């Protein structure tokens, strides 16, 4: 029986897929080779479910073995220096957090730059003779019998001499300190009320030197020391319970004139124990107690404002106790006509003595070379 020829259906072959990247290896034509390629090659999106199942079954043991080998390795592979360098240069740097960012330190300026930026203190001309400010007069003393404290300043400043009232310079805190320290507890006085101090608060004011200057540096040590006997004569006449020296420099001159020696390093601000000024043995008066305060000038920067006020409050507490013991109030409550009358008398007394005072200035012209070596400390260059 003749055989009928049959048509043989060809079995489709599984094509090998090339892995990602360039490779010189030729594809394996065997079925086992195809499985090996699928074990390490990427999954094709167009492969059939049967192929994916076969590839997953073969590849899973291999992947598990590779993962176990990676976990048991103690030394992970390190990239080459070239690769590390390349990655570090190409990797973008994260932007810093503005809240956590800190400014980079600024390098200190060089010597040349310091010389350019350093603020130089203006050189002071030094001693000024009385003729320089002949057009300006002093100011009246605010003095009367029965004062609890008499304040002693250095000398009238330019602003003070122009206005005719004590401590008129805006940079001076005298009137502010008097109020905050309890010496004028009800209010802060204006400089134009300086001559009302005795009648309102049992306080007074005067100066060591009468003639005005720009600041204390235009006075000489000898001139200040020569004024101490005149000051003590005022104290002896009005007999205040205490005197408050406004500035260490004033007390240094008084101390030197009284003892002939310089003030020691043991000095502290406040009450000067054992000291009295203006003693009058004939009348049996032992003199006024001495209190030394820090200069109230804002130009004296060696002490803080808080420290200056702290020292003044020590005096204010003592004055408050003395007022209570004397049965006084602050202000005292005297009739206004009494206060105004006392102010006019002080102004008239000052005017009467002005001609004599100006004549005294003519003989106070000191030798320039003698004064030049007798300078004043920068700390006390103040304008009241």
Is the pLDDT reported for residue 86 higher than 60? no
Q: What pLDDT is recorded for position 126?
A: 87
User: Can you tell me the distance from the alpha carbon of 40 to that of 70, in angstroms, rounded to the nearest whole number?
Assistant: 17
Q: How far is CA 154 from CA 145, 220, 249, in A?
A: 22, 12, 8
pLDDT (mean) for 154-159: 94
Task: Please indicate, yes or no, if residue 18 is contained in any of the structural domains.
Answer: no
Q: Is residue 95 part of a domain?
A: no
Q: Residues of the chain with pLDDT > 70: what percent?
A: 60
28-37, 231-240, 332-341, 354-363, range with the lowest pLDDT:
28-37
- Please tell me which residue, 11 or 294, carries the higher pLDDT value: 294
Q: Say what percent of the chain tops pLDDT 90.
A: 53
Q: pLDDT, tens digit, for every residue of 259-310?
A: 999 999 999 999 999 999 999 988 899 999 999 999 999 888 889 999 999 9
Closest CA to 238 of 269, 283, 196: 283
Model confidence at 155: pLDDT above 60 = yes
Residue 118 lies in a domain: no
Residue 245 inside a domain? The answer is yes
Q: Give the pLDDT mean for 245-272.
A: 96
Angle between helices 228-238 and 248-259 (to 10 degrees): 100
Joined tokens for residue 166:
């004590």
Q: What is the DSSP code string of 15-80?
A: PPPPPSS---PPPP-SHHHHHHHHHHSPPPTT--HHHHHHHHHHHHHHHHHHHHHHHH-SSPPPPP
49 pLDDT higher than 80: no
pLDDT of residue 1: 45
Give the per-residue pLDDT at 63: 55
Per-residue pLDDT tens over the stretch 71-82: 444 445 555 544
- Give the residue-averaged pLDDT of 104-117: 49
Q: How many domains does the chain have?
A: 1
Tokens of 30: 């065997």
Q: Is residue 290 part of a domain?
A: yes
Say if residue 88's pLDDT is above 50: no
pLDDT of residue 22: 44
Q: Which domain covers residue 349, as residue numbers?
A: 144-380
pLDDT of residue 310: 97
Bridge partners for 149 per DSSP: 203, 242
d(CA 155, CA 364): 15
Q: Which helix (H) or strand (E) holds 153?
A: strand 149-153
Query: Residue 331 — very low, low, confident or very high, per pLDDT cuts 50/70/90?
Result: very high
For residue 283, what pLDDT is reported?
A: 87
Q: Which pLDDT score, from 0 to 100, does residue 358 have? A: 66
Residue 203's DSSP bridge partners are 149
* Other C-beta atoms lying within 10 Å of the C-beta of residue 319: 24
The 10 Å CB-count burial string (b at 16+, else e) for 124-154 is eeebbbbeebeebbbbbbbbbeebbbbbbbb
- Residue 99 pLDDT exceeds 50: no
Q: Is 198 within the bounds of a domain?
A: yes
Residue 126 belongs to some domain of the structure = no
Task: Please determine, for residue 121, whether its predicted confidence score (pLDDT) is greater than 80.
Answer: no
**What would you report as the CA-atom Rg of the chain, rounded to the nearest whole angstrom?**
48
Q: Has residue 323 been placed in a domain?
A: yes
User: For the whole prediction, is pTM greater than 0.75?
Assistant: no
The distance from CA 377 to its chain's CA centroid, rounded to whole angstroms, is 23
CATH number for the domain that contains residue 157: 3.40.470.10
Mean pLDDT, the chain, whole residue set:
76
């Amino acid at each position: 029986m003749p055989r009928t020829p049959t048509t043989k259906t060809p079995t489709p072959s599984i094509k090998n897929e090339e892995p990602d990247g360039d490779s010189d290896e030729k594809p394996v034509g065997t079925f086992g080779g195809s499985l090996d390629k699928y074990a390490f090659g990427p999954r094709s999106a167009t492969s059939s479910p049967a192929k994916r199942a076969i590839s997953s079954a073969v590849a899973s043991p291999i992947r598990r073995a590779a993962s176990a080998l990676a976990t048991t390795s103690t030394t992970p592979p390190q990239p080459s220096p070239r690769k590390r360098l390349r990655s570090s240069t190409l990797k973008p740097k994260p932007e810093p957090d503005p809240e956590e960012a800190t400014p980079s330190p600024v390098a200190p300026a060089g010597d040349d730059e310091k010389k350019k930026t350093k603020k130089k203190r203006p050189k002071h001309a030094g001693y000024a003779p009385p003729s320089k400010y002949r057009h300006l007069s002093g100011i009246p003393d605010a003095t009367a019998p029965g004062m609890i404290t008499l304040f002693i300043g250095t000398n009238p400043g330019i602003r003070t001499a122009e206005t005719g009232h004590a401590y008129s310079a805006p940079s001076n805190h005298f009137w502010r300190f008097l109020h905050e320290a309890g010496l004028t507890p009800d209010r802060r006085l204006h400089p134009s009320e300086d001559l009302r101090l005795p009648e309102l608060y049992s306080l007074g004011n005067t100066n060591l030197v009468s003639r005005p200057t720009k600041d204390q540096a235009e006075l000489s040590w000898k001139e200040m020391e020569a004024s101490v006997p005149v000051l003590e004569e005022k104290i002896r006449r009005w007999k205040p319970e205490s005197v408050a020296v406004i500035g260490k420099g004033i007390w240094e001159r008084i101390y030197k004139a009284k003892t002939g020696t310089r003030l020691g390093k043991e000095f502290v601000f406040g009450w000067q124990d054992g000291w009295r000024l203006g003693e009058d043995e004939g009348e049996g008066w032992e003199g006024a107690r001495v209190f030394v305060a820090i200069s109230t000038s804002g130009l004296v920067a060696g002490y803080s404002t808080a420290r200056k006020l702290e020292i003044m409050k020590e005096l204010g507490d003592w004055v408050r106790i003395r007022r209570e013991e004397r049965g006084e109030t602050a202000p005292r409550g005297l009739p206004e006509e009494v206060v105004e009358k006392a102010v006019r008398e002080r102004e008239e007394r000052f005017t009467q003595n002005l001609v004599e005072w100006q004549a005294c200035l003519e003989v106070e012209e000191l030798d320039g070379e003698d004064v030049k070596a007798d300078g004043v400390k920068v700390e006390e260059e103040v304008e009241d």
